[in-house]
Amino acid sequence: MIFLHPLFAYTTLMVAVLTFVLYLLGTSLLRNTPAVRYALYSNLLLLVLALFSVLTGFSVAGVPLVQSKVPWLWGFPHQWNGVLLLIFSLLTFVYFWFKEDKAGKLGFMLAFLGLFLAMVQFITGWMIRLVFFD
């Protein structure tokens, strides 16, 4: 199993926020700029990082100390939201790959939903850190 440091997930979340903000800007304010193309490139990086983060998260979840200290209320949503963020990033990449400049309102809503998922992942992860180091 792949084991990276759990803080590696912060890099993934920062790339996710960057990607979805670029998608938001590319579908709203910066329509005639290459913002969506840059978002596609960062989305490719996000897919690789998210896959490593999910695999690392599942391996860390098997550690007995983590199982004893992390409450289900924060651990379960955090773990499966990471998987959802990986799948959503893949679907968003496919959508914007085909639509690119013609993404429209659906592209804007997808980017907003992706940003929301990244923020939920950040908040649940931060709550786990607060509980774990209490």
**pLDDT tens digits for range 77-122:** 777 888 888 999 999 999 999 887 777 888 889 999 999 999 988 8
Residue 18 domain flag: yes
Taking Cα atoms as reference points, which of 10, 15, 8, 125 lies closest to residue 76?
Answer: 125
Q: Is residue 77 part of a domain?
A: yes
User: Is residue 3 included in any domain, yes or no?
Assistant: no
Residue 25 lies in a domain: yes
**Residue 117 forms part of a structural domain:** yes
pLDDT by residue (tens digit) across 26-75? 888 877 778 888 999 999 999 999 998 888 887 777 777 766 667 666 66
Cα 69 to Cα 32, 88, 94, 108, 128, distances in angstroms: 50, 29, 38, 39, 9
**Does 2 reside within a domain?**
no
Residue among 44, 57, 52 at smallest CA distance from 6? 57
Structural domain count, the chain: 1
In a domain, residue 1? The reply is: no
Q: What residue numbers bound the domain in which 78 lies?
A: 8-132
User: Are 24 and 109 contacting, i.e. CB atoms less than 8 angstroms apart?
Assistant: no
Q: What is the CA radius of gyration of the chain?
A: 16
**pTM score above 0.95:** no
Does any domain span residue 43?
yes
